[in-house]
Structures are given as structure tokens and as C-alpha cells.
Amino acid sequence: MSDVLLEVSELTMRFGGLLAVDQVAFQVKRDEVFAIIGPNGAGKTTVFNCVGGFYKPSSGNIMMDGRPISGLPSHKVAQQGLVRTFQNVRLFKNLTVLENLLVAQHTRIQTGLLPGLLKLPSYRKSEDDALQRAGEWLDFMGIREYANREAGNLAYGHQRRLEIARCMITKPRLLMLDEPAAGLNPQEKRELQQLIDQLRREFDVAVLLIEHDMSLVMGVSDRIMVMENGRPITTGLPAEVRVDPRVIKAYLGEE
């Protein structure tokens, strides 16, 4: 088995005349935390949207565990074990916290329509399992006391944790986090870093991360790709990227 989980090659995305992503290539290994950083407008979100099936790339290849996924819609991409969170948390805000976790498992419960309508034992068993898994994730994220609260009424930090739980409950192999530290206070950011470490260790999940918070990126990533103007300018270990003159120039601009 190859140690590469996600392989992106020659990924290009044009919006009209604008080349937002230009021949981008990178690999994410199993159990790796891989971050994409770069100044505003560098193309990070566009890469994410292409990988996650939200945009159809203009050209290029995206392989998940050796299978092509480029151009597939997001629900098909999710079936390959690749799920994501959003820059602005997206939950079913009028459903309860628990209901959000039950809905997320819907695609995995495959008992069919008839057993569901007749409430056959196979259906009840899968419902019980879904409830139990939801309970486990509520405990894991420390949000069980809010199980019956509307998701939209949770504190922002808890909404983020719920959104990550909603991804993890589908047992992904690659978790994509789009600016997960945005809007969090310093304590919540530290907890997020611990959470990402723990998810990777305990659930064999690789993480693809876009983040502007450098302390989180440097603390949690195994490797970092830096983008500027739609292109990667370097990929390396946090300690290498931090001191790379091209990276410093991309962030600070020319003197």
C-alpha cells in the first residue's frame, strides 16, 4: 500500500480570464497533517474547492488512494473518505446538536427504504448504532451537555467542534479544515491544536489544512505548502518554511 493518500497533479483552475490555480501539485500522506498557506488571493480556497468536489477543475488530476476523483461532485468525493469543514461554520442551525450528528450518518446507514418504513430490527439496530456513535462524539468533543440545544445557539467554538465531529462521524480518511482557527480565542486555538493532534493519532485520519494562524500551522503541521499567485512557491517542514526568504517575501512584499 502506497503511503500517499491524496495526490494532486497539474491542477489548474481558471475563472474567465483569471488563472486562480496554476499547475499545482502536492501529495498528502496517510496520517499526515499537510497545510496550505499563502497571502490572500493565493488560490488556497480554490485548491480546496477543487479537491473537495465543489469546483470542477479546468485541468489536472486528483487521486484519492489511487482513484481519480477530479470533477466528481462533493457527495461522491465524501464517499471516497474525504470530507471538509467551511471557513464560516456550516451546520443545520435549526436542528439540535445531536440531530446534526445523526443526519451526518445518513449516507452511511444502508438498510434501505422498506426496513425503515416497517421499522424492521435491522433498521432499529442501525439507528441505535448511529445514536451511540453520536454520543461518543459528543463526549469526545466535550459538548454532550448541549446535545439537545439548537446548533445555531452554541458558542462559536463549540459550533466548530460540532462541525468537525460531523465530519469525523463519517469515518473519513482525509479531513479538510478550511481556516478552523478563524473566530476562535487563544484558549480555543490551543484546544484546536490538541484536537487535530488527537484526531490524527487516534483515528488514522490525514488532515489537509488551510489556515492563516501561523502559530497553529507551525504547531500542528508535518509539512506546509506555500502558495502565491496561484502557484506553490515551496513545500517543506515548518522549520524550513518559516525561514524561507521566498515565503517571507510573499507575506511581507517587496521592501
Ligand X SMILES: Nc1ncnc2c1ncn2[C@@H]1O[C@H](COP(=O)(O)OP(=O)(O)OP(=O)(O)O)[C@@H](O)[C@H]1O
Q: Which residues bind ligand X (CB under 6 A)?
A: 15, 18, 20, 38, 40-46
56 versus 119: smaller Cβ distance to ligand X: 56
Q: CB 18 → ligand X: shortest distance, Å?
A: 6
Helix spans in the chain (H): 44-51, 74-79, 97-104, 113-118, 121-141, 156-168, 186-203, 214-220, 238-242, 245-252
Q: CB 49 → ligand X: shortest distance, Å?
A: 8
Q: CB 14 → ligand X: shortest distance, Å?
A: 9
40 versus 88: smaller Cβ distance to ligand X: 40
Q: Record the cell numbers describing residue 178, joined without a space.
A: 478550511
46 versus 105: smaller Cβ distance to ligand X: 46
20 versus 151: smaller Cβ distance to ligand X: 20
The Cα–Cα gap between 126 and 62 comes to: 33
The Cα–Cα gap between 144 and 140 comes to: 9
Q: CB 189 → ligand X: shortest distance, Å?
A: 17
The Cα–Cα gap between 135 and 201 comes to: 20
